[in-house]
C-alpha cells in the first residue's frame, strides 16, 4: 500500500511506523518541517514531501493526523487535493465536525484511535502504540463500502480493534469517558492549589487519592483547549449531568441520608468492577500487592525480574513516590490468590514488607 500521512506528530508518526511494519510505503507531509524531518529520522516515513499534493500523489490511503482545531479544514483540503482513487481518514478525537466537513464525500471514513500518551512529537512514536486499542470508525450513509473495508482492514493491520460508531454518539461517549475526566482533574488540582486551610497547603500533603484523581491534570493545552471547544456541546451536557449527581450527594450530606450514600457507593463498586472486568477479566481473581520500596536505582527492575523468573505475570503496576528519603509504595496487580501469595513470599524473602488483598476490597 502507498500511504500518505498528513501530520507527523506522535500519532501520525506511529501510524507510519506501524504501517511500514505491515509493508506499506509511507510518504509524509507536515507544515512543520522540523517535525517532518524528525519523523523521517525515526523511520516513520520513507520520504518527506515538500508539498501536500506531492505527498498525496499516487496514495491509496491518506491519514490526516493534525490537531483537532485544524482537522476539519485539513480534511477538506486533502479531499480536494487527492485523486478519486485515494481513500481519506483521520485520527482526531472528535468526529462530528470533521465528518460534516467531508461534505458527503464517499471517500472519507472518520477515525479515532483511543490511545496515546502524555508525550508528543515523532520522537516518542512507536509501532506498537495501537496494539489492542479500540479504533473508532464513523462511516456515514454515503460512505463507499469498499472504502470502509479498506480503512477497517488497515486499522486491523496496525493491531487495533475497529469499532463502528455514529459521529455524534462518538462525541458524547468520549465527552463522558475522556474529556470530562480531564476537566474534573484540572478543577480538582486547581481547587486544592488555590486553597489554604489554617495556613496549610493541601497540595504539599496530598495523598494517593488526589494524585490518582489528577494524573491527567495540566495535559498539553495546545491539544486540550481545541478538544474542549470542538466537543463543547457534548462536554457541557456531560458537565450538566455531573452537576446533577453532585447536587444529589450534597443533598444526602445535608440531610444525613446514609442509605443514599451507601447505595451510591455500592453502585460505584458494581460499575468499577465491570470496568476492571473489561480490562483484566474476572475482577474477583485480581489481587493487589502493596510493597514499600526505597528510592534507589534497580529496585523496580529487581522486583519485576524476580517475579518474572518464577513466571508470575504482572497484570499492572503503579509507583506512588513519597520523597527521596521515604521512597514510595509500589502496587502490583496479580491474577489469582495463589499467584499473589507466591509473589508476596518471593518479595518478603528479599526483605520487603508486602500487604496482599483482593483488588476490589478497598
Instruction: Clarify whether residues 244 and 354 are in a common domain.
Output: no
> What mean pLDDT is predicted for residues 176-190?
96
End of a domain among 165, 196, 229?
165
Cβ atoms of 293 and 329 within 8 Å: the answer is yes
Cβ atoms of 87 and 62 within 8 Å: the answer is yes
Instruction: Clarify whether residues 203 and 339 are in a common domain.
Output: no
Any domain includes 105: yes
Q: Is the pLDDT of residue 345 over 70?
A: yes
Reported as a single tens digit per residue, the pLDDT across 67-83 is 999 999 999 999 999 99
Cβ atoms of 98 and 72 within 8 Å: the answer is yes
Between the CA of residue 175 and those of 168, 180, 181, 187, 189, what are the distances in Å? 11, 6, 9, 16, 20
Instruction: Clarify whether residues 39 and 184 are in a common domain.
Output: no
pLDDT of residue 104: 84
Instruction: Clarify whether residues 117 and 130 are in a common domain.
Output: yes
Any domain includes 34: yes
Any domain includes 32: yes
Instruction: Clarify whether residues 155 and 24 are in a common domain.
Output: yes
Residue 200 to residue 191: CA distance in whole angstroms: 14
Instruction: Clarify whether residues 300 and 337 are in a common domain.
Output: yes
Any domain includes 274: no
- The CATH number given to whatever domain includes residue 202 is 1.10.3660.10
- The CATH number given to whatever domain includes residue 72 is 3.40.50.720
Instruction: Clarify whether residues 161 and 174 are in a common domain.
Output: no
Instruction: Clarify whether residues 220 and 319 are in a common domain.
Output: no
> Which three-class secondary structure string do you get for the chain?
CEEEEECCCHHHHHHHHHHHHCCCEEEEECCCHHHHHHHHHCCCCCEECCCHHHHHCCCCEEEECCCHHHHHHHHHHHHHHCCCCCEEEECCCCCHHHHHHCCCCCCEEEEEECCCCCCCCHHHCCCCCCCCCEEEEECCCCCCHHHHHHHHHHHHHCCCEEEECCHHHHHHHHHHHHHHHHHHHHHHHHHHHCCCECCECHHHHCCHHHHHHCCCCCCCHHHHHHHHHHCHHHHHHHHHHHHHHHHHHHHHHHHCCHHHHHHHHHHHHHHHHHHHHHHHCCHHHEEEEEEEECCCCCHHHHHHHHHHHCCCCCCEEEEEEEECCCEEEEEEEEECHHHHHHHHHHHHHCCCCEEEEECCCC
> What mean pLDDT is predicted for residues 241-253?
98
Q: Give me 154's grid cell.
A: 488497515
Instruction: Clarify whether residues 160 and 11 are in a common domain.
Output: yes
Residue 29 to residue 44: CA distance in whole angstroms: 12
Q: Give me 288's grid cell.
A: 493487589
> What mean pLDDT is predicted for residues 74-98?
97
Q: Is the pLDDT of residue 361 over 70?
A: no
- The CATH number given to whatever domain includes residue 310 is 3.30.70.260
Distance of CA 248 to the CA centre of its chain: 30
* Band of pLDDT at residue 120, cut at 50, 70 and 90: confident
Between the CA of residue 223 and those of 179, 187, 347, what are the distances in Å? 12, 18, 42
* Band of pLDDT at residue 118, cut at 50, 70 and 90: low
Instruction: Clarify whether residues 148 and 16 are in a common domain.
Output: yes
Reported as a single tens digit per residue, the pLDDT across 220-243 is 898 899 999 999 999 999 999 999
Any domain includes 302: yes
Between the CA of residue 134 and those of 158, 165, 222, what are the distances in Å? 11, 11, 24
Instruction: Clarify whether residues 25 and 158 are in a common domain.
Output: yes
Instruction: Clarify whether residues 32 and 137 are in a common domain.
Output: yes
Residue 185 to residue 309: CA distance in whole angstroms: 38
* Band of pLDDT at residue 253, cut at 50, 70 and 90: very high
End of a domain among 241, 256, 271?
256
Q: Domain range spanning residue 330?
A: 283-358
Any domain includes 122: yes
Dihedral sign, Cα of residue 166, residue 167, residue 168, residue 169:
positive
Beta-bridge partner residues of 62: 4, 88
The number of domains in the chain is: 3
Supply the mean pLDDT for the chain: 93
End of a domain among 142, 165, 188?
165
Distance of CA 85 to the CA centre of its chain: 32
* Band of pLDDT at residue 359, cut at 50, 70 and 90: confident
pLDDT of residue 189: 95
CB-based contacts of 146, cutoff 8 Å, min separation 6: none
Beta-bridge partner residues of 205: none
Amino acid at each position: 500500500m502507498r500511504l500518505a500521512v498528513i501530520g507527523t506528530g506522535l500519532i501520525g508518526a506511529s501510524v507510519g511506523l506501524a504501517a511500514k511494519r505491515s509493508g506499506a510505503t509511507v510518504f509524509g507531509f507536515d507544515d512543520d518541517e522540523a517535525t517532518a524531518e524528525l519523523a523521517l529520522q525515526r523511520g516513520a516515513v520513507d520520504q518527506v514531501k515538500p508539498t501536500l499534493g506531492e505527498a498525496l500523489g499516487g496514495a491509496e490511503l491518506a491519514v490526516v493526523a493534525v490537531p483537532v482545531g485544524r482537522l476539519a479544514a485539513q480534511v477538506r483540503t486533502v479531499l480536494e487535493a487527492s485523486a478519486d482513487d485515494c481513500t481519506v481518514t483521520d485520527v482526531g478525537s472528535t468526529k462530528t465536525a470533521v465528518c460534516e466537513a467531508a461534505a458527503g464525500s464517499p471517500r472519507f471514513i472518520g477515525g479515532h484511535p483511543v490511545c496515546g500518551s502524555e508525550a508528543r512529537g515523532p520522537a516518542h512514536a512507536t509501532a506498537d502504540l495501537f496494539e489492542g486499542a479500540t479504533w473508532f470508525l464513523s462511516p456515514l450513509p454515503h460512505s463507499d463500502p469498499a472504502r470502509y473495508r479498506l480503512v477497517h482492514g488497515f486499522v486491523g493491520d496496525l493491531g487495533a480493534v475497529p469499532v463502528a460508531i455514529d459521529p455524534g454518539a462518538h462525541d458524547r461517549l468520549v465527552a463522558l469517558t475522556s474529556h470530562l475526566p480531564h476537566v474534573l482533574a484540572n478543577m480538582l488540582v486547581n481547587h486544592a492549589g488555590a486553597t489554604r486551610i489554617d495556613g496549610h497547603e493541601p497540595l504539599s500533603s496530598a495523598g494517593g487519592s488526589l494524585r490518582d484523581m489528577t494524573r491527567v491534570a495540566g495535559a498539553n493545552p495546545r491539544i486540550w483547549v481545541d478538544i474542549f471547544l470542538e466537543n463543547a456541546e457534548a462536554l457541557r451536557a456531560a458537565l450538566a449531568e455531573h452537576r446533577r449527581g453532585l447536587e444529589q450527594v450534597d443533598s444526602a450530606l445535608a440531610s444525613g441520608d446514609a442509605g443514599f450514600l451507601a447505595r451510591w457507593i455500592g453502585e460505584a463498586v458494581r460499575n468499577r468492577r465491570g470496568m476492571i472486568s473489561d480490562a483484566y477479566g474476572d475482577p474477583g481473581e485480581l489481587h493487589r500487592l502493596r510493597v514499600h520500596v526505597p528510592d534507589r536505582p534497580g529496585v523496580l527492575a529487581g522486583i519485576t525480574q524476580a517475579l518474572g523468573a518464577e513466571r508470575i505475570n504482572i497484570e499492572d503496576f503503579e509507583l506512588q513516590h513519597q520523597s527521596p528519603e521515604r521512597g514510595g509504595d509500589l502496587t502490583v496487580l496479580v491474577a489469582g490468590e495463589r499467584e499473589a501469595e507466591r509473589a508476596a513470599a518471593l518479595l518478603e524473602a528479599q526483605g520487603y514488607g508486602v500487604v496482599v488483598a483482593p483488588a476490589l476490597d478497598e
